[in-house]
Chain A
Amino acid sequence: MCSFALQKLEMKEVFITETNCITPLGFDVKSNTEAILRGDSGIQLHEDLSLMPMPFYASVINTEKLNRAFEKISTDKKYSRLEKMMILALEPIIKNSGIELNSKTAFILSTTKGNVTALKEDSEESFNNAHLDVLAKNVSDFFGFQTQPIVVSNACVSGILAVSVAKRLIQSELYDNAFVIAGDEVSEFVLSGFNAFQAMSDLPCKPYSKNRTGVSLGEATAAVLVSAAATNAKVKVIGDSSINDANHISGPSRTGEGLYRSIQNALKEAQIEVDKIDYISAHGTATPFNDEMEAIALNRLGLQNVPINSLKGFYGHTLGASGLLETVISIESANQNLLFESKGFDEIGVSETINVIDKNEERNIDYFLKTASGFGGCNTAVVFEKVKHELH
């Protein structure tokens, strides 16, 4: 339609210009991609009765290492473990960007459970810290953001939905820049819940594999700068959509309807055909139903031959952080023209064909798709275009 095209022309371009992440594999993007190329995984066997009555596999950040890194930027003792992880992820990119934290700079925080560990302590102060707006204020005040923090809490799509929210706010010219942080911790709360859901794997998770038995949980934070300015841009955010399945609150739609529509809408906005997509960074939690649902949705769209991975085999399922963390790694993948293996994958275990990446491989990546799905029937898809810089 003519009006659609016209409107498209007027839409402001939006870029991701800075990225960072704090994970068990490293405290910056470089160490993370190096670890991925070596095939390292953060998932280890843990025996910790304060977290679970039985041994479990999870990808957990070493607290002493975290504290040592944090001491280098602040001696303040008031921050929670998750707040330290968030501040550490944001600090270098705020500094590098040189962007003024004024009324046109948004701060978006995404998480599912935030400081839920604060509920273990029975005090008013501790309970107050379990509030997500308090978490956001603590992190925001560390840096001195002038705008009110925007918290996105939309289950396991939170991290990637936050990129979408940032893009929309910038396109509508409410802000010029948005610093986005996503994070979640491995806690007794989520471990027991996933276990009660019979959704925990008794081995490190194996997304899309025949013998997959569920998720391994993980913890991480990831941060990006979403900007209207193309300077130093790594990727352009060219289409996005978040459509609910309207089917079940804890299980994905058997037909992948919400994911199908999310991807379809995102591609339509990006104005590109499915054959342009070079790579898909999918959700791949390794539960039987999720992976199956994704395979069905991708086949319905004709995306079954596009190389795809789930990074959960490296990081576990980092909940609200996962969408953003996996975006940060995918951006590296695109910028290095390298497809990263989908760790834990062996024999295909979904009913419809998908092209799971079984080893690291060089490949030109211009356009890629990031997807996520979560409890409540939510799905998000975002299409990215690599920004090529002229060599001087």
Chain B
Amino acid sequence: MEALKLELKNKIITTLNLEDIAVEDIADTDALFGDGLGLDSIDALELIVILDKDYGIKLVDPKEGKTIFQSIESMAAYISANRTK
């Protein structure tokens, strides 16, 4: 689980071009959207692509993303329970 969390942090930083943010700056429970990391709606769509491309998870309802993408912790939990690759 810890390895997955680290992997997700790295992925988010590279894929979403968070230039001035390092892995250490993101706590497992930090909010990814809003006041936390400050991700926006396009980033949310990009996270849906990451789920599909890297973990083989297709979100049927994009609205589900809201709870899944709350934090690194919630993302990691969802991915380990649902991943197909």
- Residue A9 at the chain B interface, CB threshold 8 Å: no
Chain A contributes a number of interface residues (CB within 8 A of B) equal to 7
Residues 187-216 of A, flagged 1 when their CB comes within 8 A of B and 0 if not, give 000000000111000000000000000000
Let me know if B41 is at the binding interface, CB within 8 A.
Answer: yes
Note all chain B residues with C-beta closer than 8 A to A250. 41-42
Residues of A within 8 A of B42 (CB): 249-250
- Provide the B5-16 mask, 1 if CB < 8 A to any CB of A, else 0: 000000000000
Cβ of A251 under 8 Å from chain B: yes
Q: Which residues of A contact B45 (CB under 8 A)?
A: 196-198
12 A-B residue pairs with Cβ-Cβ distance under 8 Å, sorted by A, are: A196-B45, A196-B49, A197-B45, A198-B45, A198-B48, A198-B62, A248-B40, A248-B41, A249-B42, A250-B41, A250-B42, A251-B41
Closest 6 CB pairs of A and B: A198-B62, A250-B42, A251-B41, A197-B45, A198-B45, A196-B45
- A residues in contact with B41, CB < 8 Å: 248, 250-251
Interchain CA distance A250-B42 in the complex, whole Å:
8
Q: Which size bracket describes the interface of B in this complex?
A: under 10
Q: Which residue of B lies closest to A251 (CB)?
A: B41
- Chain A neighbourhood of B49, CB < 8 A: 196
B61 to A, closest residue via Cβ: A198
Chain B's nearest CB lies how many Å from the CB of A78? 38
In the complex, A250→B48 CA distance in Å? 17
Find residues 38-80 in chain B having any chain A CB closer than 8 Å to their own CB: 40-42, 45, 48-49, 62
Which residues of B lie under 8 Å from residue A198 when comparing CB positions?
45, 48, 62
CB proximity of A260 to chain B, nearest CB, Å? 22
CB distance from A114 to the nearest CB of B (A): 24
Minimum CB–CB distance for B8 against chain A, Å: 20
Residue in A198, A248, A249 whose Cβ sees the most chain B Cβ within 10 Å: A198
| 0/1 interface trace, chain A 226-269, chain B, CB 8 Å (1 if under) | 00000000000000000000001111000000000000000000
